[in-house]
């Protein structure tokens, strides 16, 4: 990878900006090298590589208004054109909501333990993935193909610079593998499930764990049956619950609050949002967050932030502009733009220490043997882009899972779960098992009562 040269880039931008009469600017730049492979029944299906570079420049005009432009052209002419474009766009900047440099853009950064790995090369990736596919298909005769699979490695670098002298840089290597298997049995519908693993290098990927999880989950869906439509106590897997909270993260987003599209308002801080034993935090610095960023798009350091404690809303996620509007410090969750986006990085969800009311140590297997309608284990949610209405609070989502009844687990043929996020957060019964580290955060299994399940007849 051609390394981004921050001092040289600063020098070029300063020269071009000066020539265009631009005195105040900042930028985010990134470059990456990616390699990935896919296989199909023992053969390479596709091998891909990419070299990418991009830059987003933001400039302030004489009236203090902001404009931006992005480009993949880092040549001198590309940078000059980008600065000119940003300056032109600044004429349409929003005077009511004008971003400034983050006051924390030069604050110390936490040093992250992120070992840099040399790439293994695409042919080694191919050999590993072929072997993983073979091992997965050998696990059960019903496993016929692994239609979605991939093994990838990436080296990347990103920098943030501004005209006040801030300079942030981060290098990173990451690797990922996903295996999504399909199982078929005569006279039965095909079933599928998968698993994902992340690491800082391909050599560190837990391929064996990924194979086992993909196989176990897919095989566990072979014996399926329809579920009767009704209301059930549901047990969300850590991945499913994190997906749901992520889809409704506008609850915690100061940008969405200011835009009037969040269920929360300024006055929601300090108010009850959930059962009194629920804690939600974001912590991009957690060692389980593979590929964590040490700073956000505005150069603000990443940090842990409590969002909900004891069921009460504690803080919002902020950019520089939203923090200024709320009279607090930026939290390190901003993008870079004329209108700066805000978003969560990595969640930590669990019981509030010392809070009463939570049923801890729940055991779905034991509970399913006690009769009744049974428990629904929601393993993974689908179509969140279509089935979540974040500004309304409602969701209606297809899911993969099992009905736990009479001490046995049976895969659910096809079903949706529907409800309201605020109702759900107040219908949490408790937690099961240790919190699990996933790509999206840390979370145990979460029990919620009274959710509406629609089964396909």
Contact between 94 and another protein by CB under 8 A: the answer reads: yes
Which lies closer to another protein via its Cβ, residue 277 or residue 399? 399
Q: Does 222 bind another protein (CB under 8 A)?
A: no
Contact window for another protein (CB under 8 A) among 46-54, 198-206, 246-254, 318-326: 46-54
Shortest distance in whole angstroms from residue 178 CB to another protein: 12
Distances (CA, A) of 415 to 224, 244, 380: 12, 16, 12
Residue 446 CB burial class (10 angstroms; 0-12, 13-18, ≥19): buried
> Within a 10 A sphere around the Cβ of 82, how many other Cβ atoms?
23
Q: Which residues of 107-119 are buried (b: 16+ CB within 10 A; e: fewer)?
A: bebeebebeebeb
The owner of tokens 């501004």 is 162
Structure tokens at 233: 């106590």
Binding of another protein at residue 271 (CB under 8 A)? no
Nearer to another protein, 96 or 113 (CB): 96
Q: Cα separations (Å) of 186 from 20, 41, 136, 183?
A: 70, 20, 20, 10
Which of 45, 139, 140, 410 is the binder for another protein (CB under 8 A)? 45
Residue nearer to another protein on the CB measure, 56 or 237: 56
Write the interaction track for another protein spanning residues 281-320; mark x where CB under 8 A is met and - where it is not: ----------------------------------------
**Shortest distance, position 69 Cβ to another protein, whole Å:** 5
Beta strands 441-455 and 347-351: pairing type?
parallel
Assess 426 for contact with another protein (CB under 8 A).
no
Place of tokens 């929360």: 264
CB 146 within 8 A of CB 137: yes
In whole angstroms, the minimum distance from the beta carbon of 154 to another protein comes to 13
- Whichever of 126 and 377 has its CB closer to another protein, that residue is 126
Task: State the alpha helices, DSSP H only, in 298-433.
Answer: 320-326, 364-368, 384-387, 421-425
> Shortest Cβ distance from residue 68 to another protein (Å)?
6
Measured from the CB atom, the residue of 143 and 362 that comes closer to another protein is 143
Please state the φ and ψ torsions of residue 94, each to the nearest 5 degrees. Answer: -90, 110
**Residue 261 binds another protein (CB under 8 A):** yes
CB of 277 to another protein, least distance (A): 25
Which segment (104-112, 350-358, 408-416, 426-434) binds another protein by CB under 8 A? 408-416
> Site for another protein (CB under 8 A): which residue of 18, 372, 418, 434?
418
Query: Binding residue for another protein (CB under 8 A) from 20, 53, 170, 268?
Result: 53
Helix ranges (DSSP H) in 280-420: 320-326, 364-368, 384-387
| Contacts of another protein in 372-401 (CB under 8 A) | 382-383, 385-387, 389, 391-394, 396-398
418 backbone dihedrals φ, ψ, rounded to 5°: -135, 155
The answer to the question of residue 43 lying near another protein (CB under 8 A) is: yes
Q: Does 49 bind another protein (CB under 8 A)?
A: yes
When the beta carbons of 390 and 442 are compared against another protein, the nearer one is: 390
Residue 64: strand, helix, or coil? coil
- Binding another protein (rule: CB under 8 A), the pick from 107, 269, 329, 414 is 414
DSSP string, 244-276: HHHHTGGGGBHHHHHHT-SS--GGGTTSB-S-T
In angstroms, what is the minimal distance from the CB of 74 to another protein? 8
């Amino acid at each position: 990878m051609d390394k981004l040269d921050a001092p040289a880039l600063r020098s070029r931008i300063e020269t071009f900006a000066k020539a265009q009469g631009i005195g105040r600017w900042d930028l985010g730049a990134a470059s990456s090298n990616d390699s990935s492979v896919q296989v199909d029944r023992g053969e390479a299906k596709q091998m891909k590589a990419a070299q990418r570079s991009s830059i987003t420049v933001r400039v302030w005009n004489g009236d203090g208004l902001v404009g931006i432009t992005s480009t993949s052209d880092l040549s001198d002419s590309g940078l000059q054109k980008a600065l000119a474009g940003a300056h032109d766009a600044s004429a349409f900047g929003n005077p009511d909501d004008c971003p400034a440099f983050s006051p924390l853009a030069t604050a110390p950064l936490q040093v992250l333990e992120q070992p840099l790995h040399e790439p293994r090369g695409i042919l080694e990736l191919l050999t590993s993935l072929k072997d993983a596919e073979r091992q997965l298909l050998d696990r059960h005769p019903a496993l016929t193909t692994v239609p979605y699979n991939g093994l990838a490695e990436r080296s990347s670098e990103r920098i943030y610079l501004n005209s006040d002298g801030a300079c942030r840089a981060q290098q990173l290597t990451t690797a990922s593998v996903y295996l999504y298997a399909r199982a078929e049995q005569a006279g039965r519908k095909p079933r599928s499930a998968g698993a994902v693993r992340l690491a800082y290098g391909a050599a560190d990927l837990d391929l064996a764990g990924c194979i086992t999880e993909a196989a176990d989950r897919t095989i566990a869906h072979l014996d399926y049956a329809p579920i009767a439509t009704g209301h059930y106590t549901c047990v969300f897997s850590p991945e499913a619950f994190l997906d749901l909270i992520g889809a409704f993260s506008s609850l915690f987003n100061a940008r969405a609050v200011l835009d009037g599209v969040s269920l929360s308002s300024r006055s929601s801080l300090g108010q009850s949002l959930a059962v009194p034993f629920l804690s939600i935090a974001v912590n991009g610095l957690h060692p389980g967050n593979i590929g964590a960023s040490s700073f956000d798009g505005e150069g603000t350091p990443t940090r842990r932030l409590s969002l909900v404690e004891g069921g009460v809303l504690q803080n919002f996620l902020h950019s520089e502009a939203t923090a200024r509007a709320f009279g607090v410090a930026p939290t390190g969750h901003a993008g870079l733009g004329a209108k700066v986006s805000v978003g969560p990085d990595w969640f930590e969800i669990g019981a509030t220490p010392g809070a009463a009311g939570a049923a801890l140590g729940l055991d779905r297997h034991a509970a399913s043997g006690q009769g009744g309608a049974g428990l629904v284990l929601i393993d993974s949610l689908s179509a969140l882009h279509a089935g979540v209405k974040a500004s309304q609070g409602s969701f209606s989502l297809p899911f993969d899972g099992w009905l736990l009844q009479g001490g046995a687990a049976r895969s659910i043929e096809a079903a949706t779960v529907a409800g309201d996020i605020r109702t759900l957060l107040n219908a949490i019964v408790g937690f099961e098992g240790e919190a699990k580290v996933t790509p999206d955060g840390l979370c145990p299994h979460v029990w919620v009562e009274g959710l509406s399940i629609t089964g396909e007849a």
